[in-house]
Amino acid sequence: MIFSLKDIVAILPEITIVAGACVLLLAALLIPKGERKDVIAYFAIGFVALAAIDTLIISGMEKTTVLGGMFVLDGYACFFKFVFYIGTILSILLSLNYVDEEKINVEEYYILMLFSLSGMMVIASGANLLTIYLGLELMSLPVYVLVGFLQRDIRSNEASMKYIVLGAFSSGILLFGISLIYGLTGTTQLVGIAEALTDATVHVPVFALAVIMLVAGFGFKIAGVPFHMWAPDAYEGAPTPITGFMSVAVKAAAFAALLRVFIEGLSTVQADWQLVVALVSVASLVVGNVVAIAQSNIKRMLAYSSVGHAGYALLGLVAGTAEGVSGVMFYMLTYTFMNLGAFGVVITMRKGSQMGENIEDYAGLAKTNRALALAMLIFLFSLAGIPPTAGFVAKFYIFMALIHQGMIPLAVIAVLMSAVAAYYYARIVMIMYMREPAGEFELARSRGLVYALVLAVIAVILMGVYPTYFIELAQRATFIM
């Protein structure tokens, strides 16, 4: 097969990341051991930035489908790629100090993140179910390894094991769904599927099974109920920056695929999948937010909160309109900042003997570390969706899309659950601000952490107060009109 120049240009960002990761694998051997991993981290950030520049340049191009229809380059893909870049860069910045703290002295840590990133990028550009599947696997395999990176921590091992087994299982289900779709429509091309589905004869019961399998497969990746069982354990056991990485970038990638498959490929049969997706969404909202209340470990709490947020974002898919799609895109962008910000604070609390994972560990944080507590307050209220933060605008966007479609009961459930969510977010604020500290806080200090937190705070406030630019960006980038 001969690649045209157009093909190469279109996949230049992916090439940059994969080539960069390979170069770093080799280069790691040449750099003296002492400073190796930080240098690798900075180079990793550099490659992501390079890919971002590539993407920026080619994002001006018309929508093009390359590589024999397998790979599409459009505004939608570019928007999501930027979400992944931001997620990856922030995660790397958050890792700089953490890997020292946990004595993870392996440079592959960052390289695996780059490989995972390349998988996400393939997903965002996937125009074919197989491309998307390949991207999903390319994204997931490095993450399986990253989750288990704390070799001496039994929780990390357990998390990795669970994630691999359930992940493999869900991939199987997804693949089964894809094969059923192929069997019914004769193609794995999303556009082709959409055309084939206009023919009423494909509406056989087995088609419903295919839809359910697709929902289950993607539902696993976004940690939607009832496919969320792995999430609390994996989130708790994984190195904290990886938890953050999984909860934003991996989830955003799965949403990128979900939206493209369901709204581009299966849009003609929206009635068939809407109910299933709505059920998953409501279940995620209820289970995620209610169970989060009972958590005492902050990583587990954020895991359940992440399940709840998947529920909110899914509502945008249920709405199924251009508004819904751009709502989800905007949601993923804001969620990247606010959730990684919150994880950043959790990472700052991890120092020496202090695990900083128990919610009670935060007691009185505001007394000794005002800036950090204030940052956490902003992230938590943003996650709770209280104005004037980005989280509010994101939820508002989704509700607009839902109510525009007349789905008021769903919107009511969603707002009621956000009141439940406010309880456990506000509880951490309460513990930080209204309790007395048990002792001195030992906090991790590094420039990477500071950069990441400051960036996240600015973004959360900016997108809350003046979201116009980002909303328009998301609106322009949807693939449906």
Partner 1 sequence: MNELLLSIPFLRDHILTVVIFLPLLGAALLFFFSDEVKIKWFALAVTVVDFILATPLVCRFDTTTHAFQFVERYVWIPSWNIHYYLGVDGISVLFVYLTTLVGWVCVLASWTAIERKLKEFMITLLVIQTAMIGVFCALDFFLFYLFWEAMLIPMYLIIGVWGGANRIYAAVKFFLYTLAGSILMLVGIIALYFAAGGTFDIPELMEHRYSFTFQAWLFVAFFFAFAIKVPMFPFHTWLPDAHVEAPTAGSIILAAILLKMGTYGFLRFSLPMFPDASIYFSPHIIVLSIIAIIYGAFLALAQEDIKKLIAYSSVSHMGFITLGLFIFNKNGVEGGILQMFNHGITTGALFLCVGIIYERTHSRLIKDYGWGAKLVPIYVLFLFIFSIASLGFPGTNGFIGELLILFGAFESFKPFVVFLLAGIALGAFYMLWMFGRMTFGAEVAHGEGDEGHDDGGHKIWDINLREAIALIAFVVFVFWVGFQPGPFLEIMHESVDNLLTQVAGSTDVAIASIK
Q: Which residues pair with 64 in a beta bridge?
A: 73
Q: Give, in order, the Cα–Cα distances in Å from 232 to each of 84, 118, 228, 312, 366.
A: 22, 25, 8, 18, 27
Return the number of the residue (11 or 373) whose C-beta is nearest partner 1.
373
Asked if 36 interacts with partner 1 (CB under 8 A), we say no
Binding-residue total with partner 1 (CB under 8 A): 34
Q: Are 105 and 96 in contact (CB under 8 A)?
A: no
User: Should residue 467 be labelled a site residue for partner 1 when binding is judged by CB under 8 A?
Assistant: yes
Report which of 324, 343, 338, 320 is spatially closest to residue 266, judged by C-alpha positions: 320
Query: Binding of partner 1 at residue 481 (CB under 8 A)?
Result: no
Q: How many residues are listed for the chain in this entry? A: 481
The shares of helix, strand and coil residues in the chain, as percent rounded to the nearest 5, are 80, 5, 20
| H or E stretch at 355 | none
Cα–Cα distance for residue pair 449/374, rounded to 1 Å = 15
Nearer to partner 1, 196 or 413 (CB): 413
Decide: is 392 part of the binding site for partner 1 (CB under 8 A): yes
Residue placing its CB nearer to partner 1 in the complex, 22 or 416: 416
- Burial of 101 (C-beta count, 10 Å sphere; 0-12/13-18/19+): middle
Q: How far apart are CA 281 and CA 287, in angstroms?
A: 10
Candidate residues 387, 443, 462, 479; the one interacting with partner 1 per rule CB under 8 A:
387
Q: Is residue 9 near partner 1 by the rule CB under 8 A?
A: no
Which of 182, 433, 451, 479 binds partner 1 (CB under 8 A)? It is 433
* Amino acid type, 469: Y
Angle between helices 468-477 and 322-348 (to 10 degrees): 130
> Among residues 347, 379, 349, which one has the least CA distance to residue 364?
349
**Which of 199, 360, 442, 472 touches partner 1 by CB under 8 A?**
472
Q: Which is nearer to partner 1, 155 or 427 (CB)?
A: 427
The helix (H) or strand (E) run that includes residue 101 is: helix 75-101
What binding mask, one character per residue, do residues 348-367 give for partner 1 by CB under 8 A, x or -? Answer: ------------------x-
Give the nearer residue to partner 1 in terms of CB position, either 273 or 330. 330
Q: What are phi and psi of 73, to 5 degrees?
A: -115, 110
Minimum gap (Å) between residue 369 Cβ and partner 1: 13
Of the candidates 185, 198, 399, 194, which has an alpha carbon nearest to the alpha carbon of residue 285?
399
Give me the 223-262 binding string for partner 1, x by CB under 8 A, dash otherwise.
Answer: ----------------------------------------
CB of 331 to partner 1, least distance (A): 15
Phi, psi (deg, nearest 5) at residue 126: -70, 125
Rounded to whole angstroms, the Cα distance separating 355 from 39 reads: 27
Closer residue to partner 1, CB minimum distance, 28 or 292: 292
- Figure out which of the listed residues 9, 134, 161, 403 binds partner 1, where binding follows CB under 8 A: 403
Residues 412-431 that bind partner 1 (CB under 8 A): 412, 415-416, 418-419, 422-423, 426-427, 429-430
With tokens 């005492």, the residue in question is 296
Q: For the chain, how big is the Rg over CA atoms in Å?
A: 21
User: Which span (7-15, 125-133, 148-156, 382-390) binds partner 1, by CB under 8 A?
Assistant: 382-390
> Do residues 139 and 158 lie in contact, with contact meaning Cβ atoms separated by under 8 Å?
no
Least gap, CB of 132 to partner 1 (angstroms): 29
User: What is the smallest separation between the CB atom of 326 and partner 1, expressed in angstroms?
Assistant: 9
Q: Which is nearer to partner 1, 3 or 466 (CB)?
A: 466
370 interacts with partner 1 by CB under 8 A: yes
CB 219, CB 227: distance < 8 Å: yes
Q: Does 480 bind partner 1 (CB under 8 A)?
A: no
Of 33-41, 238-246, 354-362, 471-479, the segment contacting partner 1 by CB under 8 A is: 471-479
Query: In this structure, are residues 459 and 387 in contact, taking their beta carbons and an 8 Å threshold?
Result: no
- Residue 371 beta carbon to partner 1: minimum distance, rounded to whole angstroms: 10
Touching partner 1, residues 61-100 (CB under 8 A)? none
Site for partner 1, rule CB under 8 A: 366, 370, 377, 381, 386-388, 392, 396, 399-400, 403-404, 408, 411-412, 415-416, 418-419, 422-423, 426-427, 429-430, 433-434, 466-468, 471-472, 475
